[in-house]
Structure 1
Amino acid sequence: MEEQRSREPDPPTPTARARTRPDPFLITCRCFSVITALAAVLCIAVNILSAFHSFNNGSDIFDGIFRCYTVVIASFVVLAETEWEFIMKFSKVLEYWTGRGMLQIFVAVMTRAYPEYLKDREELFLLQIISSYILLACGVVYFISGMFCIGMVKRARQKKEVSREQALKDLEELERRREELESLLVPGEA
């Protein structure tokens, strides 16, 4: 009986069966979040360059101050895209996609404001247009998705994924513990 038992292949472990593919919806959301964060970083860079240009010329100090405010607010956009728990705890409005989209649209409009003085610096003007329209598009997508409660669907799927991962860890721990106990039960194998 012992020989027959040792020849039989082991049944697949529950952890091998329980592993599933990552959720494509969550992967899409993460990719979009990265694109939005990169657009916000580009807006930050453009506004820093514009502020430096404004302060350096001394021609328009108010525009330089406006650009500094835009950098601060665009930094909130980047932090919101990381979905860092510390940030989300203090700014609940950024947890909802409509609020996040409105903030992104606001930063895009602020980045695009006052383009007249940049006509002589075409590369900065072009970067300003590109960054503001990309962030504007991301903001519109977030706003519309928020209106259709897609953010709520994402949070529910994230919660489900976290609970699934925790269940898999618990199952693996139980399997490891079972193997340890079985090795203690087998007599004479040392």
Structure 2
Amino acid sequence: MPRNGEEESEPRASSSTRVRARPDPFLVACKCFSLLTCLAAILCIAVNILSAVRSFKNGSDVFDGIFRCYAVLIALIVVVAETEWSFITKFWQVLGYWTGRGMLQIFVAVMTRAFPDYLGKEKYLVLLQNIACYLLLACGVVYFVSGILCIGFLKRARQQQEITREQAIKDLEELQRRKEELEQLLLPERA
């Protein structure tokens, strides 16, 4: 091993050297939280669809059904925003910021919780509404607070570092492969 800036005198075998990038634990945690948020939003979608169907089927509360349809559409936007698809963040730039996402998630959670079954006929539906609502509400609050603390900026910076690191690894592997090819071309000349 070289010391104090000295170079190695023995060349390393390039074929045995493989560089592996370790995943950033912070980015892994962000992806897991994003998945949890997606699942909570999907649960909100399912609950709102069930509530809308019940409202339209009974015919007594059409406004609740229409309200639930809007909740489904906005919850779909939450799910798509969690994919961080550049097409969506390009047109809705506020969804690129964690405070904006958090506010949208809190809004969907409140819409999901609105108009509960006061008569107690659909207890399973009220239970599902509560679970979906509070789960998405918690995710929204975490996003909002994290956005205020600029954690989203930190995530984007780490993502950029990871992309740069992955590109450097690809370039290094390409250089190693090219070096091996050139060494193979030189072997016949040495013999």
Calculate the TM-score normalised by the size of structure 2. Answer: 0.89
The C-alpha deviation readout for 1:130-188, integer Å capped at 9, x for no partner, is 00000000000000000000000000000110111011111111111111111001116
Partners of 1:35 and 1:184 in 2: CA distance: 53
Q: Which residue of 1 aligns with 2:143?
A: 142
The C-alpha deviation readout for 1:91-133, integer Å capped at 9, x for no partner, is 1100100000000000000000000356211111100000000
User: Residues 15 and 46 of structure 1: is their aligned pair in 2 closer, same or farther, counting only changes over 3 Å?
Assistant: farther
Query: 1:91-110 to 2 correspondence within 5 Å?
Result: 91-110=92-111
Q: How big is the shift at 1:18?
A: 4.3
User: Residues 178 and 77 of structure 1: is their aligned pair in 2 closer, same or farther, counting only changes over 3 Å?
Assistant: same
Q: How big is the shift at 1:36?
A: 0.2
Greater fraction helix: 1
| Identity in percent | 68
3-state SS of paired residue (1:86) = helix
Partners of 1:31 and 1:176 in 2: CA distance: 35
Equivalent pairs, count: 182
Q: Which residue of 2 aligns with 1:79?
A: 80
CA RMSD of superposed structures (Å): 2.1
3-state SS of paired residue (2:88) = helix
The C-alpha deviation readout for 1:28-66, integer Å capped at 9, x for no partner, is 000000000000000000000000000000010000000
Partners of 1:107 and 1:124 in 2: CA distance: 17
Gapped runs of 5+ residues in structure 1? 1-8
3-state SS of paired residue (2:60) = coil
Q: Please say if residues 52 and 64 of structure 2, whose CA atoms lie closer than 8 Å, have aligned partners that are also in contact.
A: yes
The structure 1 segments of at least 4 consecutive aligned residues displaced by more than 6 Å after TM superposition are none
Q: Please say if residues 40 and 136 of structure 2, whose CA atoms lie closer than 8 Å, have aligned partners that are also in contact.
A: yes
The residue type paired with residue 178 of structure 1 is K
User: Residues 185 and 83 of structure 1: is their aligned pair in 2 closer, same or farther, counting only changes over 3 Å?
Assistant: same
Q: Which residue of 2 aligns with 1:184?
A: 185
Partners of 1:15 and 1:158 in 2: CA distance: 28
The residue type paired with residue 165 of structure 2 is R
Calculate the TM-score normalised by the size of structure 1. Answer: 0.90
The residue type paired with residue 77 of structure 1 is V
Q: Which residue of 2 aligns with 1:131?
A: 132
User: Residues 98 and 58 of structure 1: is their aligned pair in 2 closer, same or farther, counting only changes over 3 Å?
Assistant: same
Q: Which residue of 2 aligns with 1:54?
A: 55
The residue type paired with residue 95 of structure 2 is L
